Amino acid sequence: MIRFINPLELLYYLGYSFKKKCLLIRQKKLPCKVISIGNITVGGTGKTPTTIAVAQRAKKKGLKPIILTRGYKGKAKGPVFVNFLPLGCEYLDLIRGERFVDKLGDEAFMISQKLRDVPLVKFSDRYKAGILAFNILKHYLRKEEIVFILDDGFQHWGLYRDIDIVLIDGADPFGNGKLFPLGKLREFPEGLKRADVIVISKTENEQLETFIKKINPQIPLFHSTIKIKALRRIDGSYITTDSLVNKRLYAFCGLARPQSFNDTLALLRAHIAHFKKFPDHYIYREKDIINLIKHSEKLRCDYIVTTEKDKVKIEDFESARKILYIEIEMSIPEDFYDIIFNNNLPVHHT
């Protein structure tokens, strides 16, 4: 049922609906399977670690994943090709004077760093990105091997998806229930009717499960959890997680939902002396890091720790050498991978 509370929501919904209708009329299909990973809210559901996990599992199954992303907040207009060089291709679009992370966007850059043998294309038009990648890689790979992974694609109407995976934050599924810009919803929850698989991330939520099943009774539903894979200094060295037990930590991050990082920190069993929150996708300057270090010393903290997403934006700073970052991985039940790779799904919803 459609419900509007504020004229701003109505204005957003009308624009959203018009764009959806226009793009669906012209929707195009890539020559290989497309697995989309998206959500119905703005930020903070775990799309990036899930994209990495799906790509890694595709490789284990003998497939050749290619990631298509818009590279949110990345300055490059595109297309930008990354990790194509091992395949003999020399498509790497660089801009002098700009850090590559600023050009790609922090999440896309992190994916490219974690999956150095997986081609990634940053471009706003994911269909054109896929065609460009396919035309390059068809000389090196068999068509049957290729699978496109569409990052943040649930509302990318211009491209047909074979599988739509939708992530929902179990701790904060729909925010205040309002559409953007008054809330975090990109679309109403009824949009979950067209999802093929739903993953509730971060925490279980029985009430949310019941709500989802009313909207989409046959939907395969899974839970994912975040696990700490490693703890490292930005200079590359490892440190054991046990060494942080009962230590004083100075934590900082620039995430849509900082609480998720706070929840991860709790696994370290340390004392959080201070937690500094920056805006999502914040572009750090070296003086930010210097100020953090000074503040941590004033509070007599043993370590400064951040996220892997934030790490990629500060790793070039000399002052950041000893800052720690947490490598995480997404854990999803095996049945999830069996479903998305074996095509054992209900009829796809448009």
Region 239-260: mean pLDDT is 92
Alpha-carbon gap, residue 201 to 169, rounded angstroms:
5
Query: Which three-class secondary structure state does DSSP give residue 198?
Result: strand
pLDDT of 312 higher than 50: yes
Band (pLDDT 50/70/90 cuts) for residue 94 is very low
pLDDT of 85 higher than 80: no
Give the DSSP H or E segment for 82: strand 80-82
For residue 153, the model assigns a pLDDT of 92
Band (pLDDT 50/70/90 cuts) for residue 294 is very high
Region 223-249: mean pLDDT is 90
Band (pLDDT 50/70/90 cuts) for residue 232 is very high
Region 38-57: mean pLDDT is 91
- % pLDDT > 70, the chain: 92
For residue 344, the model assigns a pLDDT of 59
Band (pLDDT 50/70/90 cuts) for residue 248 is very high
pTM: 0.90
For residue 50, the model assigns a pLDDT of 94
For residue 53, the model assigns a pLDDT of 95
Region 100-109: mean pLDDT is 84
* 189-195 contacts at long range (C-beta below 8 A, 24 or more positions apart): 189/40, 189/215, 190/1, 190/215, 191/40, 191/154, 192/40, 192/166, 192/216, 192/219, 193/349, 194/164, 194/348, 194/349, 194/350, 195/154, 195/164, 195/165, 195/166, 195/219, 195/349
Q: Walk me through the domains of the chain, giving residue ranges and CATH numbers.
A: 7-219 (3.40.50), 228-330 (3.40.50)
- Convert the pLDDT of each residue in 184-223 to its tens digit: 999 999 999 999 999 998 888 889 999 999 999 999 999 9
Which of residues 92 and 100 earns the better pLDDT score? 100
